[in-house]
Amino acid sequence: MRLANFFPIWDQLTDSEKNRLEDAAIFRAADRGTQLHGGDADCIGLLVVCSGQLRAYILNDEGREITLYRLFDHDICLFSASCMLRDIQFDIFIEAETDCELWIIPTPVYKEIMDGSAVVANYTNRIISSRFSEVMWLMEQVLWKSFDKRLASFLLDEMNITGDSTISMTHEKIASHLGTAREVVTRMLKYFQSEGLVKLSRGTVEIIDKEGLEALE
C-alpha cells in the first residue's frame, strides 16, 4: 500500500516532492460510516483512496441529503482539504460508505507543494474539474430528468458498484442519495414493482428486469 502506487501523478513529481509527501502522509483505515469531512470534522487533508468507497454529499438545514459523487480506489478527495482553496465556498460532507483504507496528505504539506509546482497545481485543477463535471451532470439530472429515470439510473449504478442485483438499502437511504423524500422513493419503487422491474422486501430492492430499467433511463 505505498503512496507511490496510489498517487496518480507520482512519476511527474520531483524527488524532493516525493520525499515530502511520503514523510507527511498518514495511512489510515476508516470503518464504514465514518464521517471524514464536514460538520465537526476539520480540514484533515487530501484523501488518497487505497480501497473502499467514499461518498460526497451535501446536507440542508432540515437534514435532507443528496449524493454528489462517489470515490473509489486511486481516486483523490480534494474537498477534505478545501480550506486550502479559498474560493471553494460550499460545504461538502465526505463519509466512508464501506470500510476504507486511505492515505491522508496533510493540507499544509500539499498546499506548499502545489503553490510551488505547475505540475501539481495543474493536476489539482484536473481533480476540481472532474468533480465539477460530476456536479454539473447531477444538476442536469435534477433539473431536467424525471424522477423515475433518476431512480432507475441509481439502482443500476448500485448494482454495478456492488455486483449484486439485490440492493440492501432502505427507502430513506435511497432518498438521501437522490435528494428527495422517502415517500417519493417508496411510491416510485412500488410503481417499478407493479411493472415487474424490481421486487421489494424489507430493506432491499431486487432488480429483476435490468433491461426494463435501462429502457427507462
For the bound state, the minimum distance from the C-beta of residue 112 to a second copy, rounded and expressed in Å, comes to: 11
For the bound state, the minimum distance from the C-beta of residue 168 to a second copy, rounded and expressed in Å, comes to: 26
Residue numbers at the binding site for a second copy (CB under 8 A): 58, 60, 62, 64, 66, 85-90, 114-118, 120-122, 124-133, 135-140, 142-144, 179
Nearest in space to 46 (alpha carbons), one of 108, 118, 2, 129? 108
Q: Between the CA of residue 152 and those of 97, 181, 197, 209, 210, what are the distances in Å?
A: 21, 16, 9, 11, 9
Would you say 37 and 96 are in contact if contact means Cβ atoms under 8 Å apart? Answer: no
- Beta-strand relationship, 204-207 and 65-71: unpaired
Measure the CA–CA gap between 110 and 21, rounded to whole angstroms: 8
- Beta-strand relationship, 93-96 and 54-59: antiparallel
For the bound state, the minimum distance from the C-beta of residue 141 to a second copy, rounded and expressed in Å, comes to: 11
Our CB check for a second copy shows the closer of 8 and 203 to be 8
Our CB check for a second copy shows the closer of 64 and 190 to be 64
What number of residues does the chain have?
217
For the bound state, the minimum distance from the C-beta of residue 200 to a second copy, rounded and expressed in Å, comes to: 26
Our CB check for a second copy shows the closer of 133 and 168 to be 133
For the bound state, the minimum distance from the C-beta of residue 199 to a second copy, rounded and expressed in Å, comes to: 30
Our CB check for a second copy shows the closer of 53 and 124 to be 124
Our CB check for a second copy shows the closer of 12 and 168 to be 12
